[in-house]
Structure formats: structure tokens, C-alpha cells
């Protein structure tokens, strides 16, 4: 309960910040997009998003947190022209009938091209409230916003859901990528998964790339985009700007 009050204040006061992790072209190594990730720094240390995101979902603060993350990350992304911005969206937000209108209003207010925005969602919502999820997704896709199915391969997400909900991209969960280092058939599972998505003409991002062997396997298996500590850790907006200057 105490943490709940602190979280409410943190959202209101801007103490929750966005860091950004590079999304890199598998063929050229160039940064083509950024994923915003929420960070909460307190006087006594950082609180992990694995703690405060579920807390926000439980105590009714996730809508406010989500709006805050969209606003701040779009504010930064405006100074990175040509790059896409990916923002994680909680299933609870997607089930809020007001969500789509809120997102569209924020884009207009901040004058940000909807075609540059990707919303990342995990599959849970597609099972629990498919009708509202579909309404939100359809409304946002109509204005040009893209959708990525996050953490693919670690839950119940099906290739069918990718198509039914009109996902523009699939993100392979990092647990499948790290399995490459320990299991012999890990690469076969990944290749099969990626080729199914590719058959549906859905491009694939691999998450959690930590070494060049993983990068090579996933590139050769057909991923067009890679993400992970090897290609760039989540960084402050300022550090992203320096990295982009170095590359250009
Ligand atoms: O940044 P990190 O890898 O520690 O994130 C842990 C989890 O928190 C991931 O599942 C990530 O998707 C989630 N997460 C991080 N930032 C946000 C956010 O702004 N909104 C939502 N809904 N989830 C987030
Ligand atoms: O659920 P989602 O995919 O949004 O989670 C992103 C989380 O994954 C972030 O918290 C980020 O810090 C973490 N992450 C990103 N790249 C790597 C990586 O290469 N290795 C590991 N272990 N975690 C990563
Ligand atoms: Mn994500
Ligand atoms: Na993930």
C-alpha cells in the first residue's frame, strides 16, 4: 500500500522515466527504431518494472502510467527523425474503451506521425478480452499505428493470432534466443517459428541478442531486426542521441 502511494506520486511528478533500447537492422546493423522502457528511480534505489508495472496494473494506475510513457517517449522521439518508436502497452490499457482515442489525441497534441509508432502487446489480452482488444487495435491501425506481438514463444500466442488481429511484427522472446546457447534443437524451433511468420509476410524481431552467434543464427533464419544487449542496452535519451550522432 505504501509503494502504491509512492508510485502514484512518481507518475505525477515525472519520476518515472523512459529509457530507450536500439532496434537494429539485421542486414546493416544500423539503428532503425527504439523501444521505450519505463524506469523508476527513487532515493533508495531503482524499482524494477517487473515490480511496478504489475503493481500499476493491480491498483488502477496503469492507464496514467501508460499515458505518461507515451507522452515522454514521443517527446524524445521527435528529435530522432526517421526512426520508429515502440511503446509497451498493458493488456489492461488495450481493454479500456477510451484507450485508442487517448493515443490518437496524444499524437495530435505532440504532432507525431502515427506511422512511426508501434505498440507492443503480449498475447494475454487476445485471450481474455478479444473483442475489446480488436476494437482498440482496429481503431489505431486505421490511423497508421503499427502493432507488434511481444514475447512470442513464451506463452500461448499462436501464429493464428498474429494474422487475426492484424499484427505488423512479431517479437521473439529472449528465452528462445538464450536457449540457442544451451539446447541443440533451439535453432530448429526458431527457424520453424520465423518461417511461419515469414509465410504470413509478418516481419520478425529477435529480442535478447547477447552474442554474435545468436545474431548470425537469427539473421540467417530470416529476422530483419535484432534487439539485445550486444546491439545496445536500454539507454537514456541523451545517450541514444550520442549513439545516433556517432553512427551518422
Ligand atoms: O525494462 P525491463 O526489461 O526490465 O522490463 C521488464 C518488463 O516490464 C518487460 O516485460 C517490459 O515489457 C515491461 N515494461 C517496461 N516498460 C514498460 C511500459 O512502459 N509499459 C508496460 N506496460 N510494460 C513495460
Ligand atoms: O517484455 P519486453 O520484451 O518488453 O522486455 C524488455 C526487457 O528485456 C527490458 O527490461 C530489457 O531490459 C530486457 N532486455 C533487453 N535486451 C536484453 C538482453 O539482451 N538480455 C537480457 N537478459 N535482457 C534484455
Ligand atoms: Mn517489449
Ligand atoms: Na519480450
Q: Which residue has the cell 539507454?
A: 235
Give me the pLDDT at residue 104, please. 98
- Give me the DSSP letters along 45-100: EEEPHHHHHHHHHHTT-HHHHHHHHHHHHHHHHTTSTT-EEEEE--HHHHTSTTHH
Is residue 206 in a domain? yes
Distance 155 CA to ligand 4 centre (A): 11
Query: Residues 132, 84, 169, CA angle at the centre, nearest 5°?
Result: 50
Give me the pLDDT at residue 83, please. 98
Residue 125 predicted with pLDDT over 90: no
Is residue 74 in a domain? yes
Over residues 150-168, mean pLDDT: 86
When divided into structural domains, the chain yields a total of 1
Is residue 248 in a domain? no
Give me the pLDDT at residue 235, please. 98
- Residue 23 belongs to a domain with what CATH number? 3.20.20.450
Q: Which domain holds residue 219?
A: 2-242
Is residue 196 in a domain? yes
User: How many other CB atoms sit within 10 Å of the CB of residue 198?
Assistant: 16
Query: Higher confidence at residue 157 or residue 230?
Result: 230
Question: 127 falls in which pLDDT band (50, 70, 90)?
Answer: confident
> What does the pLDDT look like over 52-99, one tens digit per residue?
999 999 999 999 999 999 999 999 999 999 999 999 999 999 999 999
CA distance 130 to 143: 20
- How far CA 219 is from CA of 16, 25, 205, 206, in Å, comes to 34, 9, 10, 9
CA distance 6 to 68: 16
Give me the pLDDT at residue 114, please. 98
Is residue 247 in a domain? no
Residue 15 predicted with pLDDT over 90: yes
Residue 157 predicted with pLDDT over 90: no
Is residue 129 in a domain? yes
User: Does ligand 1 have an atom closer than 6 angstroms to the CB of 69?
Assistant: yes
User: Does ligand 2 have an atom closer than 6 angstroms to the CB of 174?
Assistant: yes
User: What does pTM read for this prediction?
Assistant: 0.97
User: Does ligand 1 have an atom closer than 6 angstroms to the CB of 124?
Assistant: no
Q: Return the bridge partners of 39, or none.
A: 17
CB crowding 145-166: b at 16 or more within 10 Å, else e = bbbbbbbbbeeebebebbeebe
Q: What residues does the ion ligand 4 have nearby, CB within 5 Å?
A: 151, 207
Give me the pLDDT at residue 123, please. 82
Amino acid at each position: 500500500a505504501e509503494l502504491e502511494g509512492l508510485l502514484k506520486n512518481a507518475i505525477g511528478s515525472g519520476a518515472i522515466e523512459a529509457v530507450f533500447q536500439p532496434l537494429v537492422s539485421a542486414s546493416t546493423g544500423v539503428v532503425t527504431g527504439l523501444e521505450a522502457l519505463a524506469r523508476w528511480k527513487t532515493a533508495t534505489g531503482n524499482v524494477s518494472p517487473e515490480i511496478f508495472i504489475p503493481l500499476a496494473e493491480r491498483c488502477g494506475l496503469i492507464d496514467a502510467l501508460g499515458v505518461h510513457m507515451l507522452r515522454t517517449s514521443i517527446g524524445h522521439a521527435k528529435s530522432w527523425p526517421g526512426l520508429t518508436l515502440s511503446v509497451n502497452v498493458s493488456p489492461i490499457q488495450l481493454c479500456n474503451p477510451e484507450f485508442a482515442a487517448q493515443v490518437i489525441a496524444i499524437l495530435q497534441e505532440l504532432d507525431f506521425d502515427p506511422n512511426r509508432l508501434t505498440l507492443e502487446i503480449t498475447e494475454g489480452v487476445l485471450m481474455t478480452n478479444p473483442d475489446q482488444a480488436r476494437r482498440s487495435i482496429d481503431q489505431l491501425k486505421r490511423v497508421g499505428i503499427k502493432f507488434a506481438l511481444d514475447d512470442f514463444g513464451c506463452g500461448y500466442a499462436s501464429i493464428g493470432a498474429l494474422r487475426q488481429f492484424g499484427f505488423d511484427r512479431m517479437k521473439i522472446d529472449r528465452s528462445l534466443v538464450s536457449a540457442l546457447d544451451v539446447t541443440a534443437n533451439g535453432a530448429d524451433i526458431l527457424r520453424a517459428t520465423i518461417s511461419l511468420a515469414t509465410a504470413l509476410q509478418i516481419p520478425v524481431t529477435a529480442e535478447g541478442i547477447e552474442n554474435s552467434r545468436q545474431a548470425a543464427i537469427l539473421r540467417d533464419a530470416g529476422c530483419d531486426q535484432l534487439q539485445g544487449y550486444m546491439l545496445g542496452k536500454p539507454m537514456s535519451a541523451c545517450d541514444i542521441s550520442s549513439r545516433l550522432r556517432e553512427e551518422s
